[in-house]
Amino acid sequence: MKKIKYKCRIKPSSVLPLDLIRGFYNEDKEAIEEASEWVEENGLILLFTHGRAVGHERVWVEDNQILIGWYKIPYKKDLIRWLQLDHPDLFPDVLSWTKKEMFKKYSEREISFRGG
């Protein structure tokens, strides 16, 4: 199996259903197990729907965090689009950055899209 080399944290309240969020944040073991199953089944679909994934990523729970991971660094066009959503203040400077510089900036904070 391929090893995931690039990861970003995802804000749990952005992907989990309401009935799982509180238990996940409270680190309830049963809630984390249920959230893990839910994320493995639905996380990528939800992120794809919100324009935060292109479809070949993996989404999972590890160490009480929700992660999205890539086997190879994402395409520059996708990183540019995602950075525009999270860091509009960086444009147009970001266009001259390398993919690694873009990914580093993108992965600095949790991915979020439900207004927080």
Q: Is residue 89, in this structure, part of any structural domain at all?
A: yes
- 105 close to 82: Cβ distance less than 8 angstroms: no
Pair of tokens at residue 13: 């309240």
Query: Which residue's structure tokens are 């259903």?
Result: 17
What's this model's pTM, rounded to 2 decimal places? 0.87
Give me the number of domains the chain comprises.
1
Q: Is residue 1, in this structure, part of any structural domain at all?
A: no
**Predicted local confidence at residue 114, as pLDDT:** 53
Range of the domain at 102: 6-106
Radius of gyration of the chain (CA): 14
Q: What are phi and psi of 66, to 5 degrees?
A: -95, 130
Residues of the chain with pLDDT under 50: 115-116
